[in-house]
Structure 1
Amino acid sequence: MSRILADAQKTSSMRQRYRRRLRGTVVLLVWLAFSCISSVSAETVVLRRMVDDEPVGPKRTVNGEVLVEAKDGGILMRGDDGRIWLIQPDEILKRESSSVPSPVTADEMTRRMLDEFPAGFEAFETAHYVLLYQRNDAYARDVASLFESLHRAFFAYWKNQRVDIEEPKYPLVAFVLADRSAFLKHAGAEIGETAANVIGYYHLESNRMTTFRVGNLERNIATIIHEATHQLAYNCGLQTRFADNPMWLSEGLAMFFESPDLSNPRGWRGVGRVNRVNLNRWKRYLPSRPGDSLATLVADDARFQSSATAEAAYGESWALTYFLIRTMKREYIDYLERLRQTQPLQQYTQRERIEMFETAMKMPLAKVDEKFLAYMRRVR
């Protein structure tokens, strides 16, 4: 339960933080249906962050692609290291066109990370990841091995489903901090008070995953796999960062991959097993589940943002994902494909969300719900 509450707090906290940072610019303009430029252009931008109309920190130079530009000049930009920058108009010191930069190499990513976090960090590279860690090399390498196992399983799974995904364009960055104290100090700057309630998270803006050493690795495998799945999904083209990705889909997908296997020495070995924790959440919710439960899950993310409803929302999201992949796989993949086309900051209304779901499933929501309930009542 504590993890569910933390996830709800994390989602709310991060969204509030993005809204505060972009007050009156990119996100708000899209939400209010103002026109914006969505074509990609390569630029070099010199910026300085502003807080309460005062400059903060040094000047920064970002080479990358402007993904969205608001009418007032605020921009959403992806740097050559995969980080997404949300930049207000008064933070831009200089803009000039440039050629599309090549993604940074793993060696360059490592150098930048060590320059940014020099105190007490070491780094090593695997085939797909750059890991920064403190003190415990063995634990960090165990985590890296788990990441690479997930990477293989993730790509093998979607290849078997005939879903085209791409190798991550940028090296995937993960932090393994020494202990809870170090984690709170580091994570507090990104996700605020929510850091006290989680042991790991994937950060949409920086594109990095962060965790810390907590006892033995096996106890925390589900959380690590869950957050690392988010990172892979947003870096292989399966999902689009800062697009209107329904939370039931994002969280259900991560839970589908996270299922722990306690009979395995490594604690995790594959994809799509029955997730006992979330099956139990679903079964606890079922007796009091209202008739419009599927509609409220699909239409918006409100149930995830309240501690009173988050646990049931997570349980139902896993159950719906499990049901769809097991019984309506082609329709589920069609739904994924439709959402993949969503542009950053594009928003759907509740009605549009439901219509997209029904179109992909080729049946009304009520019929999906009927089949869903019948199937999940048989799952043990």
Structure 2
Amino acid sequence: MHQLPYRSTQSVYSPTAQRQRTVRASAAQEPKRAFIFGLGYTGLAVASHLKRSEAWEVAGTCRSKDKRQSLQGGGIDAYCFDPDNLNGLSSAGVEALQSSTHILSTIPPNGDFNQDPVLEAHGAALSEMAYKMEWAGYISSTGVYGDWQGAWVDESSELRGTSQSARSRIKAEAAWTTLQHRSGVPTHIFRLGGIYGPGRSALDAAKAQGVPSSNQARRGLRRYTSRCHVSDVCRVLHASMLQPAAGNIYNIVDDDPASRSLVVAYARRLLSGQDADFKAAQTADGISAISKQASTQVEQKRVRNDKIKASLGIGLHFPSFREGLDSIYAGSLEPFR
């Protein structure tokens, strides 16, 4: 696989680039309007963060009418969108999309169709509104890097992902980049590690104390797993929205790519008030049930986050899982408060 370039593509837009700059400059004085495809855990966190931190108007999509009603009650203008069947937005939803200045997609590639559902359903609408769009973001995964045998990777590293999900992500990134080149949509790609936060962390896994799934057990074999607290994910995305740099790719991970076993052991220590035995934690995570041969087949890499710090001025609130779990254990609901 070849690394997608993240060079500026402003020259590609010409001769419409000047019009885009003029429209976006005038729009800077108006309220910012964000439209989020996929108001799941991360999308809802971003919506909460934006609504609290500035005078943003936020709209987005969900799968069901019940979820829509709940979101509307919380002050988020929601519209139904089914990415599995490519059932697009209603006319009212399209109108809300086209009135937005910032577009974020958190929806993964459609497994059945092996394509990006947002672009398949509404790529034409995004192209039409490119001249007035200030920022567009696509949430991808660090899984696109594949196996590096524990070596460090950054945004310029070769994409070695071979799994179906990784290949689909690489294809989706390419589709969003093509949209930028062809239509001038100011695309930014974000490669996220494992996302955790309130209600979705190793603390919840430790409390459950159930038998781990095969995927959980396999992940437990990894010596390095990149992750990031959802609050820091929101802060990075927000910083990028305020400093658009179309064509850029950013890793969103913390400073400490630690194993799942170590993280769960730390969570158990918080819950019990005692140091957890590491070997016992490994057994409880199901690692001992996996053959040694299988462990050599697990992807190993460490993902750098230097770019978000240097380019966006981000200082992580939760530089490792320790600070993140400490905060959640203390009762913080950030960024959902």
TM-score of the pair, normalised by structure 2: 0.30
TM-score of the pair, normalised by structure 1: 0.28
More helix by share: 1
